Structures are given as C-alpha cells and as structure tokens.
Structure 1
Amino acid sequence: MLQNAAQTYQSNQVTTATPADLTLMLYNGALKFIKQTKAALDEKDMVKAHEASLKVQNILYELMSTLNNDYDISKEFSKLYEYMLQRTVESNMRKDVEILLEVEDLFVQFRDTWKEAMQLAKRQG
C-alpha cells in the first residue's frame, strides 16, 4: 500500500511539473542512477551496474529529444549530451568508474546551472 502511494505521488509530480521542473528531475534522476551504477560496480554486481547505466543513457536520450533546435544553445546542449552518452556507453562497456565520474561531474554542472536559471526566472517572473 505504501509503495502504491509513493508511485502515485511520483506520477502526480511528473504530470503536474513544468518543463523546467521535468528537466531538473531528469538531471537528478541521472545522478541517482550514476550513484547506483558506482555502488553496483563497487559490489561487483555487473548486472545491476549495467541496468543503472542504461537508465542514465535513457535519460540522455530523453534530454536530447526534448531540445528545441531553433536555438543555437540547443545545438551545443545536443553535442554535450551526445558526448555524455558516448562516455556513459563506454563506461558501461568497460565498467570504468573514472569515465562515469566525468559524466557525473557534467550532470552536476548542468543540474546546478539549471537550478540557478530556474531561480532567476522565478525572481524575474
């Protein structure tokens, strides 16, 4: 019963979120799955590491598909997301935590910048 309530809450969060909130959720989700990947690699659980890494890859695909390519900045984001995807795949294939740390750092930078932009937009709105 508690799990159903949590799932309902999460579902409501997603369906009522703004596009900006959804982007932030994707960044946070990617960071969560990177943490799970690192933990699974530490535990030598390659199946769990692979599954968590695939979730990071799926988030990157989602981020790329939501870009509005009418803006030059979107093209830059696309290049960065593609690079992060390539590195995530490489990390998954090699089970290389160092590569994963690079991707994690990029996600932290994206998330933190995005949060600042959201706060600035709220103050100006």
Structure 2
Amino acid sequence: MTPRPYEARDEAAVIALWQACGLTRPWNDPRKDIARKLAVQPELFLVIEDDGRIVASAMFGYEGHRGWVNYLAVAPSRRGRGLARRLMAEGEARLTALGCPKLSLQVRATNTEALAFYQHLGYGRDEVVCFGKRLIADA
C-alpha cells in the first residue's frame, strides 16, 4: 500500500472517505476543493489504495515559504495500520525535494486523536492564531 498521486477516477471514493472521516463541511464543496488542488501541484495530492478501494488521502502543497497538508484521512476501519504515517512521510519527502523548509497544518482543537497523531510524528504546536477569509463562496 504505497501512496500514489490522485487520479480522476478516485473522486467519488475520496469524497466518500472524507465524509466517513468527518472532514467535509457545508462551506467547502469537496468537488471544488479537488478541482482546485488538481490545478496546483496535483502530484502532491496523494491516496493509498488497497484491494481496489481508496483507504487514505492527503493533499500537500508548497507556496515557496512553507508546506501545508489538508484532508489527511484514513478510513475508520483501516486506522492504526500506519497509513497516515506513510502518507505524511511521502508528503514530507516530496516537499523536502522541492526545498520546502517547514510543513504546517491545522487541526480542529476538538480533534484529540489528530492532535496526538501529529505530536507523535514530531509536530509541535505553533503559537499562532489562525485567521481566514472566504474569497470565493462554494455554496
């Protein structure tokens, strides 16, 4: 189960995975998020397939200052098998090859499982406040 780049045929399965993992939100259309990612560094949108099923995904990106990861998801029935670690390692390697000095991510404060996972991988909490402004409404 090696991470591979996302392919167009993966769309429905990836969206179903994100929904199963509670990652979708009404204000973010997952199809639009996928289309946007495919327009910018599509090779950094990774999935893991097992037995013909998408069981994990992650979107990585690098804008010249730091890298980001979004939509890291592992099917609930496949958790605890190292799939998220594989995706993160592959994403980190690809970002490092691009010269990316730091990888950042955002986790909802209530997602204690994800917080523990990233801390286990060596990520530390940055003392920042996250701001956001919607530039294009999906709904």
TM-score, normalised by the number of residues in structure 1: 0.34
> Which protein is bigger by CA-based radius of gyration?
1
Higher strand share: 2
TM-score, normalised by the number of residues in structure 2: 0.31
